[in-house]
Amino acid sequence: MKPKIGRALVVGGGISGIRAALDLAETGYPVTLVDRAPHLGGVLSQLDNQFPTNHCGMCRMLPLVDRDAGAQYCLRKGLFHENIDIRTSTQVVGIEGEAGNFTVRLKRQPGFVDPVACIGCGRCADACSVSVADDFNAGLSMRKAIYLPVPHMLPNTYVIDPAACTRCGECINVCPTGAIRLYREGRQDFSVLVVDDEYTVRDSIKEWLEEEGFSVETVGSGEEALDLIKQQSFRMMLLDIKMPGIDGVEVLKKAKDLFPDMTVVMMTAYATVETAVEAMKTGAMDYLMKPFDPEDLAGKVIGVYEAEEAARAEEIEAGAVVFCGGSEGYDPSTGKNTFGYKVFSDVVTGLEFERLISGTGPGGGGALLRPSNGEPVKKIAWIQCVGSRDLQTDSDYCSGVCCMYAIKEAMLAKEHGPEDLESTIFYMDMRTVGKAFQRFRDAAETDQGVRFVRGRVHTVYQDTHTGKLVVSYPGEKSRRIEEDYDMVVLSTGQKPSSGTDKLAEAAGIELNPWGFVRGEPFLPAKTSREGIFCGGSFSGPKDIAESVISACSASLLASATMHSAGKGIAVAGDDTPEYIDVSHQAPKVRVILCECGGSLPEGIDLRRLAAGLEADPFVESVSFVSRICTEEGWESLAEKVKTKGYNRLLVGACTPYAYTRRIRELGGEVMLDPSLMDVCDIRSPEFAYGEETGGDAIEKAMRRSLSTGISRLRSVDPLPKQTVPVTRSALVVGGGIAGMTAALAIAEHGYDVHLVEASEHPGGNLGWLHSTVEGNDTAILLEDTTQRIEKHPLVHVHTNTTVVSAFGEVGNFFTTIETADSGPQTIQHGVVLIATGGREAETRSYGYGTSDAIVTQKELEEKVAAKAIDYSAIESVCMIQCVDSREEPRNYCSRVCCPSTLKHILQMKQQNPDISVYILYRDMMSPGFAESWYTEARKAGAVFIPYTTYAKPVVSQGEEGGSKVVISTREPLLDADVQIHADLLVLATGIVPNLPEELAGAFGAECDEDGFFREAESKWRPVDSLKEGVFGCGIALGPGSIEGSVATAGAAAQRALRILSKNAISPAAVTARVRHSLCVTCERCIAVCPYGARSIDPDTNRVLVNAVMCQGCGNCASECPNSASVLDGFFDGRMLDMIDMVME
């Protein structure tokens, strides 16, 4: 696919940044992905296990359509996509221009290790004598000053920590490839001339500045200074004003005539305004008053140096910018630290716990041991809300992730610790707000025996005799209880990433009161500056799924910006190269080996190895290149492949992964399909066998590696694949805010959209909602969106219409819709988005229907809007949360009810502050910044009383003839029964989905047990269905706010655009096919295909494989009893050949 002319910049290479970059790359935009760290992956590179599977699964984010454009590698090891240019150790220092045409200045931290030359052998680290705390293991283990930032990264190149490095140079001596260039740091190239007649002054300045790393020359008079600057170039001059002979001002004039670029700072003891002004007029940048502080002086010089460096930053053009700067864990050692973090070594943070049990963690084995003495942990506690929901640490917000990670960690602790491990979670509200979260919590409690205690631990201290940690918390009747634990985990919350303020300033975007990026109302991914968007936890605490959704939605907005600026057009030039058809040729492999600059261990004879390989009849020739990793080496290789006579290419080098992009480019040059080219690792055997085993063993291992590679290339099927044409239009089912937003997003990219709405008007739940707890007016959103929908020529709205039937697959669906008056009609479309929404659940609980005083939240909302409530006549209001929800059969949190309740409280209290408001709740769910409204509601005087499912409130009629209802409940803190006489009882009944199973089924998607759209993967593919081309958004996907619906709509539209942006989809090189002569149509392969790529053709009675949907997993091939289902390139015979080669 040809790339588009617009380039997108994604800042931050964590999970959100990777998602945003992949999204934009998959829709054809070239992307520059920068991260200030020396590696990608963000915090997730440190987290091995994710809820709810307690495994990883990041690879599910890899491209599924046009798979071969990216490397199919574990994403924790690295990212490669032909449209993504990755720049690590790079920061954004400024953004100029406007949406569509930004000029971004990027600054790269100088690297000391050449990543191309480094082979990751680790000799440098062995030689390094510095030892510092390892950030990767959250400081729990030590590393050297030259180190691997992430142990599992590929290619794994060493980096130097400039702060820890002593520049001793030992690593340079041992590096076999000369990859380390401990060149003088930038500051030493910044030369400063100090001119002062007093020796002590100039000498101390020299000393101070040299300590900061600058190179300094001193002279004692104006004459000497003028002589010296003619001989030597200086970037900066510190110039005394009052000197015998030529005075400073005179020197300044002459120096500025000669070198106008030199920065001059005057120094004077007589800081009269006149001299300073005169000097500044003549071109001095600033002046310093004597005597001055060494730090002031150094600060000034550093400021000048950094400003100059920043000005020299590289500039790139970008149509849109997506910030995914992420967040940081709260450091509990700052603040009051009553939990003794960093005081007692068995008190760890959640992240440290993850590292402790990781296979790549400090212990290495992943067993759960006490850091203090290495004994197994038998009793462990989690303390929630550390650095969250805490007004004393400026965090009047909920971090939203800690509850779920604490539950996950408590489950993992059971796996990694002894069987009888006791785990306790101390919490205030368990915020299980997402899909399946409540069931996960219930399982932890009932199946795994995790103990949940409501209450806040205020102190952790160590028993000096037993060494155990004593956790003290308020128990029954609020009496202090003290319990012994082996380990305490602090569930630390999310804080804005360090440097967020600086970056926001450089980018010209606004922050919210908590220091995160401020999003626009209803569109959190949009920042205050046009064309700059924000994904992931940069705009507020988020979990993985929310981050992925917000990153998708940000990349959609970025793509729309570039599209409307005319940057969505593909670059001119030839389309995908027409590769030579080699299907009728016998395999001929050309082998090119890297000699590694002669640094191979002794005893290895590459010529002998080559001779052996040449004996293979499939090998065309074997030749050598001195060092492929260098530019010259690669050019020499490119030269060697120009001559014809072969149809497969095998390169023997190191780190095959690093060559993925280059091999693809080379393929385009020589017209050879890149799937017929391969790079084989011949350097790793050296490390695996070690030098002491001798050259013979290594050479043998190298031969095995190469023979296997040759065997694999032989078996690659060169048959060109059939592409699948795409109908470039979309169907959106459901005209609520999610459906409308998604339809508009797709239409704005120039594709037809059919929007099907069952009712008379689009709008969905926005028809009865009026405002949000934040005070944003939903009517404006509705009006604005419906108007845009009506005006947009590409959006075809079908109201009073339902979907009757549908068939087809990604790229080509055929759906019959029926409109009430005009009858059925069939639409052809490439993708489908299901946005059927949800509605307020009905209830029969708590006396609903027996009194006019008992209403649901929706009814209250409608009454408020109709001004049908006389606030002065109300004395007391009661609200019951979680009505029929968060317990079987509707065991999920509906997410919107708690914020709605807070909104209603504040509305009522505003109208009449004397109304008593009582809220009966189980856990108040106000994740993220909604927490501040919870605080406001309490401040307004609402009384919150928790209840449990074991002792629910009871509603009865009040006095005869009275309008009040009486609610009896138990107040757990007072340990007393409470009776509330309420004029109004509001029931929060939650949300049920509107998604009929037949509708989902018609498109090949599924409903989950609660009737919501089943996503392919809750974290990594939250809006896709397993069947490609079918997406869900809005409440159909799961309960959510308006903001959430808009975000999922954006995400679903972005996923759809990956497909719509192509005329035709070409299948990947490795897909499955069926040998019909052997197939008995037992259909077992259809059942095991996780992607729904297989179907049976009723006309021919043959099993068909949709090559675009097939992900080449091989399930079918291993299931097929007849070997009729095969995976291209992995035929049984060839696989056995390869195994033979390895075992040789």
Partner 1 sequence: MEPAVDTQTAAPDRSLIKKLAPARKQLLACIQCGTCSGSCPNADAMDVSPRYLWRLLLTDNAEEIFKTRTFALCSTCYTCTLRCPRGLQITDAMSLLKQVAASENLPLYKRSIRFYQSFMESVRRHGRVREMEFMTLYFMSMKNPVIPLKFTPLGMRLMAKRKVSVEIPSKGTQKLDAMFRKAREIEEQS
Residue numbers at the binding site for partner 1 (CB under 8 A): 336, 338, 385, 389-392, 428, 455-459, 472-474, 477-480, 876, 916, 918, 935, 938-941, 943-944, 968, 971, 973-974, 976-982
Closer Cβ to partner 1, 479 or 644, answer by number:
479
Q: How far apart are the first and last CA of the chain?
A: 41
- The verdict on whether omega for the bond into residue 149 sits within 30 degrees of 0, i.e. cis, is no
Closer Cβ to partner 1, 136 or 473, answer by number:
473
Question: At its nearest, how many Å lie between partner 1 and the CB of residue 352?
Answer: 22
Question: At its nearest, how many Å lie between partner 1 and the CB of residue 951?
Answer: 14
3-class DSSP state for residue 50?
strand
Question: At its nearest, how many Å lie between partner 1 and the CB of residue 1004?
Answer: 47
Amino acid (1-letter code) at residue 75: L
Closer Cβ to partner 1, 403 or 841, answer by number:
403
Question: At its nearest, how many Å lie between partner 1 and the CB of residue 350?
Answer: 18
Strands 347-349 and 487-492: parallel
Question: At its nearest, how many Å lie between partner 1 and the CB of residue 892?
Answer: 24
Closer Cβ to partner 1, 88 or 494, answer by number:
494
Torsions phi, psi for 287 (to 5 deg): -135, 155
Nearest Cα neighbor of 755 from 829, 839, 840 is: 829
Question: At its nearest, how many Å lie between partner 1 and the CB of residue 905?
Answer: 12
Nearest Cα neighbor of 958 from 946, 949, 967 is: 967
DSSP state of 1076: T
Separation in Å, CA 244 to CA 236, 567, 571, 593, 922: 22, 63, 66, 70, 82
DSSP state of 247: -
Bridge-partner residues for 459, per DSSP?
472
Question: At its nearest, how many Å lie between partner 1 and the CB of residue 358?
Answer: 31
State which H helix or E strand residue 40 sits in: none
Q: Helix axis angle, 737-748 relative to 1042-1060, nearest 10°?
A: 30
Question: Which residue's structure tokens are 């009006």?
Answer: 783
Closer Cβ to partner 1, 181 or 981, answer by number:
981
Closer Cβ to partner 1, 479 or 584, answer by number:
479
Separation in Å, CA 573 to CA 5, 68, 577: 12, 21, 11
Closer Cβ to partner 1, 778 or 932, answer by number:
932
Closer Cβ to partner 1, 911 or 935, answer by number:
935
Question: At its nearest, how many Å lie between partner 1 and the CB of residue 954?
Answer: 12
Question: At its nearest, how many Å lie between partner 1 and the CB of residue 943?
Answer: 6
Closer Cβ to partner 1, 37 or 967, answer by number:
967
Question: At its nearest, how many Å lie between partner 1 and the CB of residue 474?
Answer: 3
Closer Cβ to partner 1, 343 or 1064, answer by number:
343
Closer Cβ to partner 1, 184 or 336, answer by number:
336
Determine what percent of the chain falls in helix, strand and coil, rounding each to the nearest 5. 30, 25, 45
Question: At its nearest, how many Å lie between partner 1 and the CB of residue 476?
Answer: 10
3-class DSSP state for residue 354?
helix
DSSP H helical ranges for 956-1011 = 997-1002
| DSSP collapsed to 3 states, 933-969 | HHHHHHHCCCEEEECECCECCEEEECCCCCCCEEEEE
Joined tokens for residue 652: 């023997």
Closer Cβ to partner 1, 339 or 1020, answer by number:
339
Closer Cβ to partner 1, 579 or 944, answer by number:
944
Closer Cβ to partner 1, 699 or 931, answer by number:
931
Question: At its nearest, how many Å lie between partner 1 and the CB of residue 904?
Answer: 18
Question: At its nearest, how many Å lie between partner 1 and the CB of residue 855?
Answer: 19
Bridge-partner residues for 861, per DSSP?
none
3-class DSSP state for residue 96?
strand
Would you say 263 and 238 are in contact if contact means Cβ atoms under 8 Å apart? Answer: no
Question: At its nearest, how many Å lie between partner 1 and the CB of residue 470?
Answer: 12
Report the C-alpha gap between 740 and 892 in whole angstroms. 26
Closer Cβ to partner 1, 478 or 1063, answer by number:
478
Structural Rg of the chain based on CA atoms: 34
Name 1029's Cβ contacts closer than 8 Å, sequence gap at least 6. Answer: 809, 810, 811, 813, 830, 831, 832, 1056, 1059, 1109
**Exposure of 1017 in the CB half-sphere (CA atoms within 13 A):** 19
Closer Cβ to partner 1, 925 or 1089, answer by number:
925
Q: Residue 56, class by beta-carbon neighbours within 10 Å (0-12 exposed, 13-18 middle, 19+ buried)? A: middle
Sign of the alpha-carbon torsion through 105, 110, 113, 114: positive
Report the C-alpha gap between 562 and 421 in whole angstroms. 55
Closer Cβ to partner 1, 382 or 657, answer by number:
382
Closer Cβ to partner 1, 20 or 457, answer by number:
457
Question: At its nearest, how many Å lie between partner 1 and the CB of residue 387?
Answer: 10
Question: At its nearest, how many Å lie between partner 1 and the CB of residue 353?
Answer: 22
Sign of the alpha-carbon torsion through 123, 126, 132, 138: positive
State which H helix or E strand residue 833 sits in: strand 831-834
Question: At its nearest, how many Å lie between partner 1 and the CB of residue 468?
Answer: 18
Separation in Å, CA 242 to CA 197, 269, 785: 8, 8, 70
Would you say 796 and 730 are in contact if contact means Cβ atoms under 8 Å apart? Answer: no
- Greatest CA separation found in the chain? 107
The alpha carbon of residue 536 and the mean position of all alpha carbons in its chain are separated, in whole angstroms, by: 6
Length of the chain: 1144
Would you say 137 and 84 are in contact if contact means Cβ atoms under 8 Å apart? Answer: no
Nearest Cα neighbor of 831 from 1041, 550, 560, 1056 is: 1056
Question: At its nearest, how many Å lie between partner 1 and the CB of residue 877?
Answer: 10
